[in-house]
Chains A and B, each alone.
Chain A
Amino acid sequence: MLFLNFKLLIINLNMPDLYTAKPTEKPPKTHRKTSVFDRLKNVESPFSAFVVKPDGVSFENQRRGEAVLLVLRKHWITNLGWVTMGIFLVFMPLIFVEFPVITLLPTGYKLVVFISWYLLLIAFLFEKFLIWFFDVGVVTDQRVIDIDFYGLIYKEVSEANLEKIQDVTLQQIGAIRTVFDFGNVIIQTAAETNKIDFEDIPHPQRVSRLLEDLTR
């Protein structure tokens, strides 16, 4: 009996393995993020409010190897107010040219009044454009950054690492926002800045889904 057991043991030791489980390697953490990154269609237009994987974009305190996935601005429709006003103000001197106060002015003064008017108008439109252009939300493969410009002399930059994101809320209130597909994405974080708002950004559902994918 002892001999038989010993024989079985020898047979067992000499038998080739029929199946050997391959050691499973956990994919590196960046792999999952890269796949989300790859699914996004590249949008390069500099005036776009939804820029995907932009080239040549960088920001203050960008970490080495940190890739910008999304640059978000307010939807173009939010600029409609000042653009319409600008168009109206361009033609305003044509209305005022017949006013008695203007007609009384000598030609040189008339010219200076018109030049001054257009200088003021350019300043007004340029300032509005700057605030829209530089008021951005940035999503990278490591964090979210919200750069806010309130006027030309007040700026606010808030950021949070992706791991600190606790909750992503989507707000799309009103018919205009639904029709043109824009809204707010509010990100609750455990970072120093406990709330990051991306206001009136296009495709908020896509953004919130992307953020959920990145933080999962």
Chain B
Amino acid sequence: MIDLNIAVNDLFNLSPWPIIKFFFLVALLIYIIFAFILVRQVSVMDKIFHSRFNVFIKLISIALFVLSVVVLLIVLKFL
């Protein structure tokens, strides 16, 4: 039989930070997927309409993707 008092005590002593960290990781994973879609979308847009400036836009989208991966790694390592 589980002692209800111990269970309640354990629940209250449970640290919320791992749960918060988990939610951060899920949100960042979603963001990485979004950033990847953005890179693909910029490539599609470039194919439809190409100008000299598109190279910079592509670089920005790739930088955003890399940045989101870096943030995910930071959260994994330091939180």
Contact = CB atoms under 8 A, between A and B. Distances in A.
- Judged by DSSP, the binding face of B is helix
19 contacts: A46-B51, A55-B52, A56-B50, A57-B51, A59-B50, A108-B78, A109-B17, A112-B74, A112-B75, A115-B71, A116-B24, A122-B64, A123-B35, A130-B41, A138-B49, A152-B38, A153-B37, A155-B44, A155-B48
Contacts of A120: 31
Given A119-B31, A123-B64, A133-B57, A112 B24 contact: yes
Given A109-B20, A119-B31, A152 B47 contact: no
Contacts of A147: 48-49
A46 B52 contact: yes
A162 interface: no
Contacts of A60: 47-49
B75 to A, nearest CB: 6
B67 interface: yes
Contact of A130 (B45, B48, B52, B71): B45
Interface of B: 17, 20, 24, 27-28, 31, 34-35, 37-38, 41-42, 44-45, 47-53, 57, 60-61, 64, 67-68, 71, 74-75, 78-79
A180 interface: no
A56 B52 contact: yes
Contacts of A115: 71, 74
Contacts of B49: 57, 59-60, 134, 136, 138, 147
Interface of A: 46-47, 54-60, 71, 106, 108-109, 112, 115-116, 119-120, 122-123, 126-127, 130, 133-134, 136, 138, 147, 149, 152-153, 155, 157
A152 B36 CA distance: 12
Given A56-B51, A109-B17, A116-B27, 16 more contacts: A46-B53, A55-B52, A59-B48, A60-B48, A116-B28, A119-B64, A119-B71, A120-B31, A123-B31, A123-B34, A126-B60, A130-B45, A134-B45, A138-B49, A149-B45, A152-B38
A187 B49 CA distance: 21
Contact of B41 (A54, A55, A57, A152): A152
Given A116-B27, A116-B28, A153-B41, A108 B50 contact: no
